[in-house]
């Protein structure tokens, strides 16, 4: 397990500490598993710990988390070739989660798929 520090990648997502949640972010209501990044093949990056609030913004490749509990672990849910779990500090700490993109030889940008 790796601690976040100021920022850390986990496969096709990049996680970084931020000072606050943006004012235009919308709180996502719900309980249970918090999916940080969906995968087209079902191997989501998700948090099963309590005390985590997810926020969305207009850009679908970015979300924000507020960890109100002591900590939260982002787990890569895939039975093979998983990425190491990343532990987020709690106590109200905020994080930006950004899907990585790559540029194709044709000049198009697309989401990185791991």
Q: What is the mean pLDDT of the chain?
A: 80
Taking the model in full, what pTM does it have?
0.79
Token pair recorded at residue 7 = 């920022």
Q: Is the pLDDT of residue 76 over 90?
A: no
CB 24 within 8 A of CB 57: yes
Helix (H) or strand (E) holding 60: none
Q: What distance in Å separates the CA atoms of residue 23 and residue 47, rounded to the nearest whole number? A: 23
């Amino acid at each position: 397990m790796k601690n976040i520090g100021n920022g850390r990648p986990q496969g096709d997502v990049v996680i970084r500490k931020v000072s606050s949640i943006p004012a235009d972010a919308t709180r996502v209501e719900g309980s249970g598993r918090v999916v940080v990044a969906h995968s087209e093949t079902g191997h989501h990056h998700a948090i099963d710990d309590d005390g985590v609030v997810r926020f969305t913004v207009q850009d679908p490749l970015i979300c924000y988390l507020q960890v109100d509990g002591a900590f939260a672990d982002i787990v890569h849910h895939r039975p093979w070739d998983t990425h190491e779990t990343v532990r987020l500090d709690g106590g109200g700490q905020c994080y930006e989660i950004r899907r990585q993109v790559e540029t194709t030889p044709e000049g198009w940008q697309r989401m990185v798929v791991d």
